[in-house]
Every structure is written in structure tokens, then in C-alpha cells.
Amino acid sequence: MRQSKLFTKTRKEAPKDEVSKNAELLIRAGFIHKEMAGVYSFLPLGLRVIEKLKSVIREEMNSSNGQEILMSTLQRKELWEVTNRWGDETVDVWFKSALNSGGEVGFGWSHEEPITYMMKDHIASFRDLPIFVYQFQNKLRNELRAKSGVMRGREFIMKDMYSFSRDQKEHDEYYNGMIEAYNKVFSRIGLGEDTFLTFAPGGAFTEFSHEFQTVIDNGEDTIYINKEKNIAINDEVLNEDTLSNFNVTRDDLREVKTTEVGNIFNFGTQKCKELNLFYNDKEGNKVPVWLGSYGIGVTRLMGVIAEKLSDEKGIVWPSSVAPFDIHLVEISNGDEEVKKSADELYSTLSKNGVEVLYDDRSTSVGQKFADSDLIGIPIRVVVSKKTLAEGKFERVERKSGATDMVDESTLLSQT
């Protein structure tokens, strides 16, 4: 993509009412647009990051036998009443509206109820199970506070997966496999080091649920960790019982601020009993289905990466989710030879599947480099009079600033 054609502008200052670091960076670099508190639109660069995140997650979900679907946003009140999750006393984030034709609808903040109900059309016998489905869907939540940029949206993209299993053994196997899949996702997108599988409050069926918590300054959550023993405990379940359960004392644990990037939850057979999702086993007995629910906050991840992996100059995207592989910057100052060399490199790289943002604008060198640092593409390649004279290109790593001179073939193998 030619930067001269990119409609988004970088800016020196974020809007005055923006208090979060991630949104400030993402707005300044032209990845997102703020509509109102907790509501953001995704611009070309931002959408590319979202799509990269989704494709990493999609690969891992597909490897776990997940089948992708897309459920509706509008939700039927009657369904949520069955499970006692319609009332604002039980769920405090509902957005609701009235139909012109009469009656109320809700905007989906999660999808256990509709998906379980839908499965009644598809599950009858033990032969129909297990089923694993997932979606990338815009969730709407009437969050009381929305001061963490895209890390806490009132509208945000979630990957939600649901497992329908025959019994506890089948359920547990999948649940444990999902922990592995989540670990792969977080390490592939550069957050593996600082993301902890954390014990959190459970539901009716289990003592604990599991959250994936990423350490970040000013995170909204607090957890207690022991890295050597690989233990992480959410503050909501930190008590004498839990400590002795894990054979640690409070002094063995360090308090850290985090944000929840993923959550996996065992509903046991409760939800399927409530919504009447049963199957016939081999002996013809009517048995309730086991439900597991597995979320990842896609847009929250974008915020976490932008904020956590940034430096004083701007964002530093890991290559797996960067909007482009290479930021090609020409410094021609009107020199036709230099311009031609940069144009040719752009065309060769693009033809060979390398994703390039090409800064072909006639702006100052200083502005180009500042924008490049702010946008944060992992590799910058500079074409100038000097590089042309050497017959090579200057390659700069965004993260370390390390610079070397390389030829075209090295750049072609960049991805």
C-alpha cells in the first residue's frame, strides 16, 4: 500500500478526553477512530491488525476441531429469562431495546444461551457429539467505566468458542486442550512471557474457572503470581483455602496488575438442563450435554499489544500481528533514480507476497521516520542516495534499532 494513498493521518496529540495509553497511541498512529467513550472504529491499519489476530486465533481454533459460525447480535429476551440472565440484577452489562412491533430485545454480550438453544436442532444422539463451534463477533456491553481504550470497549470483538460434550471426561479433555491452544495463541502474538493461566472464581460445577491474565501497567485486575512454581491466583479467590490448596503462603506470591485476555469456563450440565439440551446415549437414556465456554478479547489484545510493547517513539508490533511486514521509506528528495529504485523494490516485494507499506510521500525525512516509529511496523527499509550508491538497502529493526545493509533477496525472505 502506498502511504500517499492512505487516507488516515498520524497526529501529534490524541483527543483530550482520551486517557488510555493504548487508544492514545492507536489514534495518533491512525489505527482507530474514537466514536465515544468505549466505542472505537477500525481504520485500514487497525483492521489489518485485527485480521492478523483473528487469523492466528482461527488457526488454533481450527486445529482444535472448531467450526466457525456467526451468531446474531440481537437476542431473544425469553431465552435469557429461562436461565435467569435477562434481569439487570443478574447481568449488569445488558444493552436492551424495544421492537417497533412490540417486545424487547437484547444486544449480545455473550452467546451461551442462543448457541445452546440452537444446538437443540442439531444434537439428538450420542453420535452427534462432541461439537466445537466458535465465532468472531461484536459484543455489546454497557460497561460502567470505559477508560481503558480498546481494552474495555462497550462494543468490542470477541472470539467465543463453545464445546458440547457427552460427559465430564470428554469435556475435561477438550477444556485442557483449549488451555494449550490459548497458550499457543498468546505466545504467537508476543504475549507468552507475561500471560498467566490464572485460577479464578468457578461456577456451579467447578471450584475454579481459568483466566488468561497479561501483566500490564495500570491493568484493571490484580493477580498473585509465583513464576517459578507457575502459579497465578486471581484476587477474588485468594484466601487461606486456596493458598493451602496450592501449597503456598501469601509471601510466596507477588502482586501484579493485569488485564484478562482470555477466559475459559465450565458450565457443566447446568445450562443444557435449563435450556433442555439432552441427547440419547447408547442405552437410550436421556442425558444432559456438557457445555464449555472459551473467550478471547480480540480488540482488547490489540490494545494490550499496542500499549505493552510500545516505547517512547510509538508502537512496536510483533511480526505476527503487524499491519505490514515492511515499512519501505524512500528518501529521494526529488531524485528520480532513488524514487525509481524504491518503486521497483516496492513492486518486487509486493509481487512476492511481502506486505509493504510504502512511504512514497513528499514529506520531510524527519516526519517520515517519526511516523514510521509511531506506526510500528517491525522492519523499516530505507532507500536513499546513499543506499543506491552501495547497491543495497538499509534495514532497521523497529524494536532494537539494529541497522544493516541488505540486498533484495534478503528482503524477499523477510516474511
Answer for which of 181, 216, 261, 275 binds ligand ATP (CB under 6 A) is: 261
Least CB distance to ligand ATP at residue 265 (A): 7
Least CB distance to ligand ATP at residue 235 (A): 12
CA distances from 350 to 1, 44, 392, 397 (A): 9, 18, 18, 20
Q: Which is nearer to ligand ATP, 143 or 325 (CB)?
A: 143
Answer for which of 28, 48, 141, 395 binds ligand ATP (CB under 6 A) is: 141
Decide if 64 contacts 132 (C-beta within 8 A). Answer: yes
Q: Which is nearer to ligand ATP, 153 or 323 (CB)?
A: 153
Q: Which of the residues 279 through 318 are near ligand ATP (CB under 6 A)? A: 295, 297, 299-300
Which are the contacts of 113, defined by CB distance < 8 A and separation ≥ 6? Answer: 75, 79, 80, 82, 83, 85, 271, 275
Give Rg (Cα) of the chain: 24
Least CB distance to ligand ATP at residue 222 (A): 11
Q: For cell 495463541, what's the residue?
A: 185
CA distances from 205 to 168, 182, 201, 208, 209 (A): 11, 22, 11, 9, 10
Q: Which is nearer to ligand ATP, 16 or 145 (CB)?
A: 145
- Residue 22 as a binder of ligand ATP (CB under 6 A): the answer is no
Least CB distance to ligand ATP at residue 295 (A): 3
187-191-195 Cα angle (round to 5) = 95
Answer for which of 112, 143, 325, 360 binds ligand ATP (CB under 6 A) is: 143
Cis bond before residue 130 (omega within 30° of 0): yes
Answer for which of 263, 266, 384, 414 binds ligand ATP (CB under 6 A) is: 263
C-alpha cell, 108: 449480545
Least CB distance to ligand ATP at residue 148 (A): 8
Answer for which of 21, 28, 34, 152 binds ligand ATP (CB under 6 A) is: 152
Which are the contacts of 398, defined by CB distance < 8 A and separation ≥ 6? Answer: 316, 317, 372, 373, 376, 377, 378, 379, 380
Site track 79-118 with ligand ATP (rule: CB under 6 A), x = hit = -------------------------------x--------
Return the range that interacts with ligand ATP (CB under 6 A); candidates 3-11, 238-246, 260-268, 370-378: 260-268
Answer for which of 260, 330, 360, 371 binds ligand ATP (CB under 6 A) is: 260
Answer for which of 66, 130, 153, 288 binds ligand ATP (CB under 6 A) is: 153
Number of residues that bind ligand ATP (CB under 6 A): 15
Q: What are residue 199's DSSP bridge partners?
A: 210, 233
Answer for which of 158, 322, 349, 382 binds ligand ATP (CB under 6 A) is: 158
Residue 162 neighbours by CB distance under 10 Å: 24
Q: Which residues bind ligand ATP (CB under 6 A)?
A: 110, 141, 143, 152-153, 156, 158, 260-263, 295, 297, 299-300
